[in-house]
Amino acid sequence: MENKEKVKKLIDLRVEAKLGGGEKRIASQHAKGKYTARERIDMLLDEGSFEELDMFVTHRCHNFGMEKDKFLGDGVVTGHGTIDGRTVFVYAQDFTVFGGSLSETMALKICKVMDMAMKMGAPIIGINDSGGARIQEGVNALAGFAEIFERNILASGVVPQISAIYGPCAGGAVYSPALTDFILMTENTSYMFVTGPKVVKSVTGEDISTEDLGGASMHTKKSGVAQFKVETEEEGMMLIRKLLSYLPQNNLEEAPLFNTNDPIDRMEDSLNEIIPDNPNKPYDVKDVIHAIVDNEEFLEVHRFFAKNVVVGFARFNGQSTGIIANQPNFMGGVLDCDASRKAARFVRFCDAFNIPILTLVDVPGFLPGSSQEYQGIITHGAKLMFAYGEATVPKVTVTLRKSYGGAHCVMSSKQLRGDFNYAWPTAEIAVMGASGAIEVLEGRTIVKMENAEEKAQFIADKTAEYNTAFANPYNAASYAYIDDVIEPRNTRFRVIRAFQALQTKKLANPLKKHSNIPL
């Protein structure tokens, strides 16, 4: 064969590989409102940056006549490219080839780019669109899954891992995304579950749709399995690019620093009036966040799940920062099981990747009741306490209003190694609110009082006495648990100054194999 013919063969094979399962299956993929694996990668990466690996890999299965049916690439496109000029490794399952089902060789391709990502210290992005394990390959397919899972585990906290679910993801396949840092799902075209609707019905008798069992809305609102929900794949790719802009390449790097035209000393007068006079009246803590961050830009994570706590990324003077804030606008900002684990996981992610943490506190306590106790509120609350106490990144805390009881301790208090703990003049730091405290302290006296007017006056006097003593930040400040009481409109400046002072912070936890976080 002459050189010219060899080159032509190479070109022809590349064309064949890029067609995946063929024109007909590509048309079917498009008819479902879905893109092909290569189209998705081109959408995600900087133009012209993708370098594909293992284009000519084929499966090795000889069962059920599979040896007669082979496709170049074997159902997954793998390689590396750049996002905003920074290297990332990526794999995208190709639903046009055997429904994107995972084979031994597909797993080998995925594992190869994951190993490279670890070696090079670069993020790994997986685009999932698969019917699950390739049944014809039996235990080899299962072994392939387990090889991927092990790499997800070892990469955790070393390089950022992002999963985009752009189609089916069922059975054992769900555990790779579950082991990654962030999961993104598309509305109406993606789903995740361990067992599908048919199996559920045959085993339990429950009749449920695919969407209700494992759709994007369910996983972003109820289960909390997925952090992001998008309407289109294009929107999803833009979101991944934006998310990565806040993250370092790996755990040994600092998060990227951006230039900003937002002045450090910008005053926000509205903050002086944002806390209602009535301590039981809600306000939106996101208004506080948008007012103090660079250019009002805030990328919220887990927006639809456990809305009583808000978490996400922003920048202060160009520096990436993770924000955790109680949300008085939802359930009064109380901490429950879901809010505790949502916040805990986010704190641990930030700590793993050297992202400073700002905590905005307005928490009346943990949610009481048998339902929460049965669900293990003690353990879930302990997760959040553990996450904050273990974190060694710079931690700045601002108490806006209520900070009561155990919830005060949990929310990045000074005793959990908060570096700078500030409070607004509206802050109330105490074991509990005035009404509950008076009931405990003066309950017997109140019960004995028969005159209604005297009783009301006594309660009012004792409440005023309690509020004077505790419903303010100055008692805590007198013990140096609060470093300073700051004017609300000056919060941005004080937070930035605090993080600037913490840039050279050095803190290490005791040497150990690993901690045993309450799970």
Active site residues: 171-172, 406-407
Q: What angle do CA 466, 271, 409 make, to 5 degrees?
A: 45
Among the listed residues 394, 397, 247, 252, the one whose alpha carbon sits nearest the alpha carbon of residue 326: 397
Cβ within 8 Å of residue 33, ≥6 positions away: 188, 189
In the chain, the amino acid numbered 358 is L
Among the listed residues 415, 294, 293, 303, the one whose alpha carbon sits nearest the alpha carbon of residue 360: 293
- Say if CB 410 and CB 370 are below 8 A apart: no
Q: Which two tokens stand for residue 171?
A: 């059975």
Cβ within 8 Å of residue 516, ≥6 positions away: none
Helix (H) or strand (E) holding 296: none
DSSP 432: S
In the chain, the amino acid numbered 211 is E
- Say if CB 164 and CB 216 are below 8 A apart: no
**3-state class of 421 per DSSP?**
strand
Rounded Cα–Cα distance for residues 114 and 91 (Å):
9
